[in-house]
Amino acid sequence: PAGLNDVYNVLQWTYKNGKSINGDEKHIAVVGDSAGGNLSAAVSSMSRDKNGPPITCQVLIYPSTNISELNSKSWSYFSNSFNVSREDMEKYISIYAPKKEDRKNPYASPLLSKDLRKLPDTLVVTAEIDPLRDEGEAYANKLKESGVKAEVTRYKGITHGFITMDKITNKADEALNQISLYIQKEFQK
């Protein structure tokens, strides 16, 4: 999909030109929430596969990691969530990957990847009341099984999209603080 290629082009630009914006090409983190978490996971795999820019770490915030099937327990529990309903998700998926066979591509559904080795250290943040919860946590577990250093934190009593709800819940600030400290720690290695 074009969106992933755009993200990869930004990654390459950042690696080549980071110093011009006071960046450091030796310390690159990719971070995304929801569909952005999907793109972050996919660009990490793409960069590894293409011998592209090295990524220090990735932070996946309630990521969508399997767009080929919406069949996890959390999807059955929370499919009518006001933030992300099954109907809305199916619409988004049909726009992003109109052909059903493309949805099984590991760049579209990172959880389906047969090879997660040599991916960057990863922090996965999930929300307890979120249809995407189980697939995000399953991806973290699959990374660990592949030898990737991966951490997962489930924020209790909170829903999809909470990272932007700092006016409503202190869990947003708590998660942002965790993410900031995680990236700082990874950059100090």
Asked if 181 contacts 174 with a C-beta cutoff of 8 angstroms, the reply is no
Q: Please list the residues that pair with 61 across neighbouring strands.
A: 33, 125
Strands (E), the chain: 29-33, 57-61, 121-129, 150-159
Q: What is the largest CA-CA distance in the chain?
A: 47
Asked if 27 contacts 50 with a C-beta cutoff of 8 angstroms, the reply is no
Active-site residues, by number, are 34, 130, 160
Rounded Cα–Cα distance for residues 114 and 137 (Å): 17
Burial of 67 per CB tally in 10 Å (0-12, 13-18, 19+): buried
Rounded Cα–Cα distance for residues 121 and 127 (Å): 20
